[in-house]
Structure 1
Amino acid sequence: MLRALRFSRWDHSSPLRLVILAKERRAFASNVVTPLSLSYTVFDGPSPQPPLVFLHGLFGSKNNFQSLAKKLVLQTGRQVLTVDARNHGSSPHSSLMSYEAMSADVQLLLHQLHLNRCVLIGHSMGGKTAMVLSLQRPELVERLVCVDISPSETSAVTSFQAFLAAMRAVNIPRGLPRSTARRLAEEQLRSTIQEPATRNFLLTNLVSSEDQFMWRVNLEAISHHLNEILSFPDFQTPYSGPTLFLGGSKSEYISSNDYPEIERLFPEAEIQYVSNAGHWVHADQPQEFLTAVCNFLELPPP
């Protein structure tokens, strides 16, 4: 585990910061978004400290973090929530797929659960959603963990367009048993997606409905908004809370080119890399991931 940087430069209480923050909130409010009620799972813990809220990445679901959530409850005592984003898992589908919309969904969930503060832990797309929420509503976020993602354009390091095309091309006849349907889908994905672990991850989205197998993730909405998902909204006001950017040493999603923007928007950030981990850090090295998160939670506030 390597600690690369720690930033601390912004005067968090300056009048200028408060004016800019108010202007940014009015700008976002002018873009009317109807938040959706998200599907989530709660893992209860005895601690009165703010809960941990996990936000998954593109093509993921709340199930990705269940085993880690249970271990974090035991290790920290905190309540842990795993959440399905809109157009993913068991959450509602919508034609809108923006970070402002996904942030609004999580804010609605926190309001519904009467949670005034939380620790946001987001992977990839979920990490960008967590960043946007932190920048919009910093009073809701005690700490922030961004897993293998930065507040920068990520189209150059992704294969998501190829994944979408391969998934949309899958054709499964009606009436097949699940094992046959899954094998057929995997065979059709293999020509485009050579990595077995990636194919198996995408196949977690294959579900049966009325004698027909289909993708539970909204491929149409994601395809339409993919450029927006791979980018990041413009912000001027930083989030001043404790922040951890946790990357995989074998991944390109957090590079030295991203450090200036991380420093600008998250001046209290630390950047760490987990050895022998790729983009799915929590799946590649779960114990190292847990250790990094628990150590971060124990750090005193700046």
Structure 2
Amino acid sequence: MLRWARAWRLPRGGLGPSRPGYSRVPVAPSSGGGGGAGPRPLPLSYTLLDGEPTLPALVFLHGLFGCKTNFNSIAKAVAQQTGRRVLTVDARNHGDSPHSPDMSYEAMSQDLQDLLPQLGLAPCVLIGHSMGGKTAMLLALQRPELVERLIAVDISPVETTSVSDFPTYVAAMRAIDIPAEVPRSCARKLADEQLSPVVKEVAVRQFLLTNLVEVDGRFVWRVNLDALAQHVDTIMAFPARQDSYPGPTLFLLGGNSQYVHPGHHPEMRRLFPGAQIQTVPAAGHWVHADRPQDFLAAIRGFLA
């Protein structure tokens, strides 16, 4: 029977509110460490579903502005269909994970290099969407022994600023102003109205608004907009690498998305020589939300 094995949440006081309409200030210590060789890992929030311990676990990594709950239904379904353990993780500065001024892919990869062995989930199958896909790719390149196979969802190891509106989204979210003591029923509507002149697509606004939460009677963004604004160029890029990941790799693309195009393929195959490229028709950038059954079928096929 499927059951929630463990859900780790940020300890008391971990998400401190700031002024309504603005992101919370970082609450974790500097991730740079005190003279260490790399970024200091943070204790990420995660949910783990039970499954067969002899099979590599599936680890889902969300994209920018997302959180681990984006994959709730997918995680339950794939756990039932494959019998595997399934881990969903909040990246730093997202969901219930701690905030930090460092949003580099090196730091996000280090977080997972720390977490996966702690949970006994290495090597695992990494499944990352967008920002999570780039994190998964870097982790596979840095520590291939931790990754049994890799699925990158609608993203490639190249710069994606030409197709992304993420800097605009960050600016629009930071400009939201919700007065104190506004009822919960009105706060989301008010925020939606203020976002709509800039973020035209209703589905995108609804996705961004999943980050609006009430803390002590005030509405704040749980995503760390300050860190995102400072590092948006880094998030849109990908660290230069000379090494390659030899394991099985699937680039799963949305047929209606412009994030990955044929010009990216040489770099994808250079870094991931065992890569397959598969397109899900009628899916946009959020492949798992647009075509969940096709998404699940692609995962099952790749695992087989």
Aligned to 2:4: none
Number of aligned residue pairs: give it. 270
Aligned to 2:165: 159
Pick closer, same or farther for the CA change 1:31–1:253 going to 2, 3 Å: farther
Would the aligned equivalents of 1:49 and 1:78 in 2 still touch at CA under 8 Å? yes
- Deviation, 1:116, is 2.6
Residue deviations 1:75-118 (CA, integer Å, cap 9, x gap): 11100000000000000000000000000001111122122310
Say if 2:261 is the partner of 1:255: yes
Aligned to 1:127: 133
- Deviation, 1:32, is 2.5
1:114 is paired with a residue whose SS is coil
Kindly provide the amino acid, as one letter, of the partner of residue 228 in structure 1: T
The share of aligned pairs that are identical, in percent, is: 61
Kindly provide the amino acid, as one letter, of the partner of residue 37 in structure 1: P
- Deviation, 1:179, is 1.6
CA distance in 1, matches of 2:269, 2:227: 32
What CA RMSD, in Å, does the superposition of the two structures yield over aligned residues? 1.1
1:238 is paired with a residue whose SS is coil
Moved more, 29-38 or 257-266: 29-38
Matches within 5 A, 1:198-277: 198-277=204-283
Moved more, 47-56 or 234-243: 47-56
- Deviation, 1:206, is 0.3
Say if 2:111 is the partner of 1:105: yes
RCO (CA 8 Å, sep 6+): is it higher in 1 or 2? 1
Kindly provide the amino acid, as one letter, of the partner of residue 79 in structure 1: R
Would the aligned equivalents of 1:206 and 1:213 in 2 still touch at CA under 8 Å? yes
Consecutive unaligned residues of structure 1, counting only runs of 5 or more, are: 1-28
1:225 is paired with a residue whose SS is helix
Matches within 5 A, 1:184-199: 184-199=190-205
Residue deviations 1:192-219 (CA, integer Å, cap 9, x gap): 0111100000000000112110100000
Say if 2:182 is the partner of 1:176: yes
Kindly provide the amino acid, as one letter, of the partner of residue 285 in structure 2: H
Kindly provide the amino acid, as one letter, of the partner of residue 206 in structure 2: N
Kindly provide the amino acid, as one letter, of the partner of residue 190 in structure 2: L
Aligned with residue 122 of structure 2, among 116, 120, 144:
116
CA distance in 1, matches of 2:193, 2:178: 11
Give me the TM-score of the superposition, normalised by structure 2. Answer: 0.87
CA distance in 2, matches of 1:287, 1:200: 22
CA distance in 2, matches of 1:115, 1:263: 27
Aligned to 2:292: 286
Q: 4+ residue stretches of structure 1 with deviation over 2 A?
A: 29-32
Aligned to 1:149: 155
Kindly provide the amino acid, as one letter, of the partner of residue 110 in structure 1: L
Say if 2:137 is the partner of 1:136: no
1:111 is paired with a residue whose SS is helix
Would the aligned equivalents of 1:51 and 1:119 in 2 still touch at CA under 8 Å? yes
- Deviation, 1:180, is 0.5
CA distance in 1, matches of 2:185, 2:249: 43
CA distance in 2, matches of 1:70, 1:32: 34
Residue deviations 1:206-250 (CA, integer Å, cap 9, x gap): 001121101000000011011010000011110000000001011
Aligned to 1:296: 302
1:119 is paired with a residue whose SS is strand
Aligned with residue 59 of structure 1, among 26, 42, 65:
65
